[in-house]
Every structure is written in C-alpha cells, then in structure tokens.
C-alpha cells in the first residue's frame, strides 16, 4: 500500500480540486436502452412492460400532444388565459409516472400533464381547471395548468419554482416514519436546481433517507436561460453525489430507459434506502408557455432539426412498429377520439358558470374572521365580476 501510494502521481490540492469537478465518462453518458430508430441498444436489458401497457403509453403520448396543440389554439383565441405545452418531454414524464402507482404522491413542476393523463385525470377535470369554472377543483384560484387532483395522488401545483421539492422530501420522510412503502415522485426543471429549495429538499431527503424519487427534467431551457449557464456542473445528475444519493442521467427521449431508471429508484425508496435524483435529458420543443416566444432567444428551425432525435414519440412508434404493435389506422383513431373527447370537454367547461364569488372566502378559515366577513358582504353587494380573468375572451368564444 505504502509503496504504491508513493509511486502514484503525488496529490496536490490543485489536482484534487480539478478532478472533483470533472464528470467521468460514465457521468456523461445517459442511460439509453432503445435507439431513436426503435432498435434496442446492443446488450441492453429492457424493463418488463406488457404490450397493452406499451400501446397505452403511446396513446397517452399522442393524446398529450393533441391536447397541447388544441389548448394552445384555445389560448390564442383568448378563451383561456394561459397554457403550457410539453412536446418532447412526454416520454420521460410518462416513463417516471409509469414506474409508480396512484398511492405514490405526485409533486409536479407544471409541465407534467402526461403523468396526470397516465394516472387517469379526466379530460373534464383538466378542462375545468383551464377554464377556472365552477367545477374546477381549485375553484378558479390557480393559473391554468396548475392542477390538483386528490383522486390521482396529485398535490396542488404552485408557480413558485422548486417549492415542491422540500414538500416532497417531507412527505417522503413521513411515509418512511409511518412505515409505508409508497413514495413521493417529485419533478423539477433543471432551472429549479438553482433554487435554495432544491438544496434543502435534496439534503433533507438524503439525510433522512426519505421515500422520494426526484426527476429533473433537463429540457435545456429555463424559459430563456440555457442549461449551460444554469449550473457549472457538467450534468445535473452529478449533483446527487454530493448529497449522498444516487444520481442517474437518462436519455429522456427513451421511455424504456426512463422506466428502468425510475423503477430502480422507486424500489430503493420503497425499501427505505433513500432518494434518487434522475436527470431526464430532453429538449423543450415548444415555447416555455403561451406567454413565451423562443424565436427571440434560440434558432428555432435549426434546433428543432438538431434535437429531433430526442423526441420520444417517434422513438416509441418505431419500437412498436418493430414489435408489430402499431398501425396507421390505430394511431389515427386515437387522435380522432381524443380530439372529439377534448372538444366535448372544452365545450362543457367553457359553458359552465364561473365559481361563485363567495367561494373566494372559503377553505382557509373554518369560521370567517370579521374582516373577511366584511369583505364577503361587500363583495356580494357588488354585482359580480367573474372570478377568473378570461372574461373578454370567453365572451368572444361563445357559440
């Protein structure tokens, strides 16, 4: 030992510091099981997924994309106030969701519609939230896309970046304390890792070996901030190491790799072995939101072509073709069906009354304190303005 050490290159503070920040080849290589052309990577062992599930996953991906297209149009028509698409990320989100069950709590960033569709949130619940109508589960109080749905284990989404991370860690710890085997699945964007909450949540979860799986959707852009300037780490998965938890970099375009990585992480968490950070490397093909115009800060045409191979939809389609599980008619029927269902849901959601004014005063106090009672009475004395801010828009969208 002693002689070996002497022979090795002498360590210096500078060399140690230099090496510490460098990613190894392993760190840099995303887990990939299925190639963009749908072929299985040589030597890769695919996770076990029944054919029916494979088809269903593809369906949800298609549905997600159709819904996104439609809702952006509806937003542009001024019928809803806001929308966020997730094109290019459906696969990684869906893969992670597939590896969990409804008993596992969901803490979302905001772009994870695919996980909700997979868990069975109804289109009507979805549309009601976007229109903020009387049936909206959050009573029109949240921006569109900030869903909540207890029935599928979804904790209400909040806009402030990364607040869900410590919450997920806390819930995961509670699960552990109660001896439960379920986990909390927490999504964040790569931009969210720059928040203090990321540190708190990761540290806490690791220290207490909480039942959590963190999924960092690295889609390359935090609105207009590119991932390269978001962090000095070469990968986001690497950050896990310093917290004392496994970090896995996954090709987010490969739903199989995503399922495999998440299943492992969920298993670890269920066994009480603590959290995992999964970095799903994807590309955000769409704008950040309906308020964003990416052409201002990136070369849209070039990028769409450059990252096309990262799109999970064609990759899964190719795989299904290899397995002879896909047909053009089937895909078309799925699309037509979702379009019809969505149109019905939108129509109903749009014609439904807006939340009653008095609901604004509900859900915080069991008995209203005096000042809120005063406000409530005054609000009721006014003839209402609708609660949600899409008045002009809805008027134009009638009929």
Partner 1 sequence: MAYQFILPDIGEGVVEGEVVRWHVKPGDVVKEDQTLVEIMTDKATVQIPSPKAGKVSKLFFKEGEVAKVGKAIIEIDTGGEASAPAPAPAAEKAPSRAPDSTPPPQRVEVSRTEPRASFEATSTQAVAQGSNALVASTGEREILATPAVRKLARDEGVELQKVAGTGPFGRITREDVLRQAQGGQVISFTPPPQAKAQTTQTEAPVRENVQARTQEPRREDRQDHRQESRGNSRDFGREPVREEPRDPPPPRREEPRRDEPRRDEMRPAAQQQSQPAQAQQQSSQLPPPRPGQETRVQIRGLRKRISEKMHQSKSTAAHFTYVDEFDLTDLVKLREQVNGKLAAQKIKLNFLPFIMKACVVALRKFPAINALVDDARGEYVMKSDINIGIAVQTDDGLMVPVVRNVDQKSMVQLQREIETLSEKVRRRQATQQELTGGSFTITSLGALGGMLATPVINYPEVAILGVHAIKKKPAVVGEQVVIRDLGNFAASFDHRLIDGYIGAQFIAEVKRLLEDPTTLFLEL
Choice among 288, 315, 317, 388 that is catalytic: 288
Residue 96: which of 311, 316, 278 has the closest Cα? 278
Candidate list 82, 208, 330, 361; residue touching partner 1; CB under 8 A: 82
Token pair, residue 398, equals 């009638």
Instruction: Kindly determine how many residues on this chain lie close enough to bind partner 1 according to the rule CB under 8 A.
Output: 46
Q: For 104, how many CA atoms within 13 A lie in the half-sphere containing its CB?
A: 28
Candidate list 2, 8, 13, 296; residue touching partner 1; CB under 8 A: 296
Residue 63 — φ and ψ, nearest 5°?
-60, -45
Phi-psi region of 220 (alpha: psi -120 to 50; beta: other; left: phi over 0): left
> Which residues have a Cβ under 8 Å from the Cβ of 243 and sit 6 or more positions away?
202, 203, 205, 206, 277
Q: Residues 58 to 77: which contact partner 1 by CB under 8 A?
A: 73, 75-77
Token pair, residue 82, equals 């806001």
Alpha-carbon 195 to chain mean position = 17
Q: Does 224 bind partner 1 (CB under 8 A)?
A: no
Choice among 65, 284, 315, 317 that is catalytic: 284
Q: How far is the CB of 255 from partner 1 (least distance, A)?
A: 30
297 is catalytic: yes
From the DSSP assignment, how many helices (H) and strands (E) are in the chain? Answer: 16, 7
- Taking a C-beta distance cutoff of 8 angstroms, is the pair 78, 354 a contact? no
Candidate list 181, 264, 292, 303; residue touching partner 1; CB under 8 A: 292
Q: How far is the CB of 362 from partner 1 (least distance, A)?
A: 14
Q: What is the DSSP letter of 397?
A: T
- Tokens 């840099």 locate to 28
Pick between residue 314 and residue 386 the one whose CB is nearest to partner 1. Answer: 386
Candidate list 161, 287, 334, 346; residue touching partner 1; CB under 8 A: 287
Q: Does 336 bind partner 1 (CB under 8 A)?
A: no
270 is catalytic: no
Pick between residue 134 and residue 309 the one whose CB is nearest to partner 1. Answer: 134
Pick between residue 323 and residue 365 the one whose CB is nearest to partner 1. Answer: 365
Q: Residues 91 to 110: which contact partner 1 by CB under 8 A?
A: none
Pick between residue 145 and residue 245 the one whose CB is nearest to partner 1. Answer: 145
Helix 51-76 / helix 328-351 crossing angle, nearest 10 deg: 50
Q: Does 382 bind partner 1 (CB under 8 A)?
A: yes
Candidate list 37, 180, 293, 299; residue touching partner 1; CB under 8 A: 293
Q: Does 395 bind partner 1 (CB under 8 A)?
A: yes
For residue 249, the surrounding DSSP H or E stretch is strand 247-251
Token pair, residue 340, equals 């019809």
Q: Does 394 bind partner 1 (CB under 8 A)?
A: yes
284 is catalytic: yes
Candidate list 3, 9, 328, 392; residue touching partner 1; CB under 8 A: 392
Candidate list 244, 351, 362, 363; residue touching partner 1; CB under 8 A: 351
Token pair, residue 235, equals 């990968």
Token pair, residue 338, equals 């979702």
Pick between residue 232 and residue 364 the one whose CB is nearest to partner 1. Answer: 364
For residue 218, the surrounding DSSP H or E stretch is strand 212-218
- The β-bridge partners of 249 are 279
Residues with a catalytic annotation lie at 284, 288, 297
- Provide the binding-site residues for partner 1, judged by CB under 8 A: 73, 75-79, 81-82, 287, 290-293, 295-296, 351, 353-354, 356-357, 367, 370-371, 373-375, 377-378, 380-386, 389-399
């Amino acid at each position: 030992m002693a002689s070996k050490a002497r022979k090795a290159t002498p360590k210096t503070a500078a060399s140690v510091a230099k090496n510490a920040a460098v990613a190894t080849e392993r760190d840099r290589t995303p887990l990939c099981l299925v190639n963009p052309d749908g072929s299985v990577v040589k030597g890769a062992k695919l996770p076990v997924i029944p054919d029916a599930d494979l088809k269903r996953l593809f369906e949800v991906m298609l549905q997600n994309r159709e819904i996104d297209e439609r809702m952006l149009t509806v937003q542009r028509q001024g019928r809803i106030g806001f929308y966020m698409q997730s094109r290019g990320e459906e696969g990684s989100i869906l893969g992670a969701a597939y590896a969990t069950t409804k008993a596992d709590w969901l803490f979302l960033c905001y772009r994870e519609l695919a996980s909700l569709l997979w868990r069975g949130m109804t289109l009507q619940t979805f549309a009601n939230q976007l229109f903020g109508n009387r049936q909206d589960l959050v009573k029109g109080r949240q921006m569109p896309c900030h869903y909540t749905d207890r029935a599928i284990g979804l904790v209400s989404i909040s806009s402030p970046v990364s607040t869900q991370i410590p919450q997920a860690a806390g819930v995961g710890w509670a699960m552990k304390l109660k001896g439960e085997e379920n986990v909390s699945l927490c999504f964040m964007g790569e931009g969210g890792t720059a928040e203090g909450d990321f540190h708190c949540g990761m540290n806490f979860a690791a220290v207490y070996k909480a039942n959590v799986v963190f999924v960092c959707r690295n889609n390359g852009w935090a609105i207009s901030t590119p991932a390269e300037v978001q962090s000095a780490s070469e990968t986001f998965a690497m950050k896990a190491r310093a917290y004392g938890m496994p970090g896995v970099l996954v090709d987010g375009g490969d739903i199989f790799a995503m399922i495999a990585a998440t299943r492992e992480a969920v298993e670890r968490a269920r066994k009480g072995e603590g959290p995992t950070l999964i970095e799903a490397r994807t590309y955000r093909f769409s704008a950040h939101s309906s308020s964003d115009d990416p052409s201002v800060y990136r070369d849209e045409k070039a990028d769409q072509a450059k990252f096309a191979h990262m799109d999970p939809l064609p990759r899964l389609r190719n795989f299904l073709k290899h397995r002879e599980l896909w047909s053009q008619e089937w895909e078309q029927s799925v699309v037509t069906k979702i379009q019809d269902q969505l149109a019905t849901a939108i129509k109903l959601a749009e014609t439904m009354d807006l939340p009653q004014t008095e609901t604004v005063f509900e859900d915080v106090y069991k008995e209203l304190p005096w000042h809120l009672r005063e406000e409530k009475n005054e609000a009721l004395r006014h003839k209402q303005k609708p609660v949600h801010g899409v008045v002009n828009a809805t008027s134009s969208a009638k009929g």
